[in-house]
Structure 1
């Protein structure tokens, strides 16, 4: 099993403290450190994912908590509980144009007030959205991934920088302890193209959030 580097460090400290606690306190205290270390590793797990042949994929594991219109654009937000994998993945292939950190509050990520939370915007100029190696209808348009901190998350870790090339489903960052990841679609994507609704359970890099129009009459298809 692969783990986020921070997780190995935190878990290592807890596991190293277990024998000390056993000697200086009680075996129960030592066991508590072992359990805490194992729980930390579980939280920071980073399992492999296999993107489907086509589709804008979910950036996070969890439950779809937001589906709303913002002007002529659609936003889909995925709430990550503490038991979910918190590694975020690229929804589309393309070039990272900008990574912007916005300071803010740390309210529960499932609440309406979370729109004012600390966040990181990863803006991707989409490419190859129709199929692997082929031009697509979103090519050159911006797809925005937003990592939103939660009530207990104090650090958002983007793993990409401007100019980086990413493939759909690539790891692009990590947030800790309950948070949210949103995709803001370009105007070409409308509600009929969505393949999820509020309450659906999704997996990062594997679950398809939306299709896109491929011709002038706006019909969609998996890409």
Structure 2
């Protein structure tokens, strides 16, 4: 997802590129105010580090088979929509917010839909701003929360994805839903609502491909 600046070498964790732009303002303000007004400067240093930590981007090792979770967090939605199942994962503020492909596939379309900013754990959040990544066998929906206003897809139409590959990230609280292929039914699911999952690693449904 791009190249991080040299400062990234001093962090104990990798971060997405967008983090550096967001942290620049608070970092510069901290540098100015720390010697002049130490308490405020220290608070801005903490805020800058918090922004970078929130946008951390750890490596993951996906399994060879199965449908993997598109996000870190808690399974908040399992329901049937027509002939297909939808599984949603709520990302809390403490979770990694980099999203990953649940299955190999080719991106057919990436669509952005403006909308509301309801809490991401509520049913009303499905009317929130979202980005849909439409692949040949499944659809991944990245849904903004009440505070999340920035969804950053990292793929485009024609891209060929591997299982667990990074597809984008969203800033500050959100949800990621996958509408599973039509040949996956409820008996294939390995998770229930309330389960904790990790993007690109936790298998949420069995499927051989």
TM-score normalised according to structure 1 size = 0.85
**2:32 matched to 1:20?**
yes
Aligned match of 2:145 in 130, 136, 150?
150
**SS of alignment partner, residue 54 of structure 1:** coil
Partner of 2:87: 76
Aligned counterpart, 1:98: 109
Of 112, 128, 136, 1:117 maps to 128
Q: How does 1:122-137 map to 2 (within 5 A)?
A: 122-125=133-136
What is the distance in 2 between the residues matched to 1:9 and 1:151? Answer: 21
Name the counterpart of 2:157. 162
Q: Which runs of 4+ in 1 moved over 3 A?
A: none
CA deviations 1:59-110 (Å, max 9, x no partner) are 0000000001111110000000011000000011111011111111110000
Cα deviations by residue, 1:3-34 (Å, 9 ceiling, x for unpaired)? 1111122223322221311244x211110011
Q: Which runs of 5+ in 1 are unaligned?
A: 126-141, 213-221
Aligned to 1:217: none
The count of corresponding residues between Structure 1 and Structure 2 is: 197
- Distance in 1 (CA, whole Å) between partners of 2:180 and 2:65 is 16
Unaligned stretches of 5+ residues in structure 2: 1-12
2:36 matched to 1:41? no
| Bigger radius of gyration | 1
Report the counterpart of residue 135 of structure 1 in structure 2.
Answer: none
Name the structure 2 match of 1:205: 200
